[in-house]
Amino acid sequence: GVLLRLLLASVAPRYQAVVFVDDAEENVVNVSRASAAMPQEVAVFHYDGPEGAPRKSEDEAEADWDVLEAATCRALSPRWCPA
């Protein structure tokens, strides 16, 4: 819960709601538990991809993450981005 609140504070110090989407069930469960103590509205979704879609390799998924991270850092400049 502490890490989630710190992450949110670094991205957007003033927020009223959170939408959390993850493909790892463990992360979804952990955020659901942590969000119970948060005053903001938190919607948590476990996403496993489109039905019938082929799964990406770990290398493909990592490359997609690198693109997403770079775009997020350029657009929002959260503190967790590399310098």
**pLDDT computed for residue 1 by the predictor:** 67
Average pLDDT of span 17-24 = 87
**pLDDT computed for residue 82 by the predictor:** 82
Query: Cα–Cα distance between 69 and 74 in angstroms, integer?
Result: 9
Query: Cα–Cα distance between 13 and 66 in angstroms, integer?
Result: 24
Q: Are 45 and 19 a contacting pair, CB within 8 Å? A: yes
The token pair at 68 is 């997403």
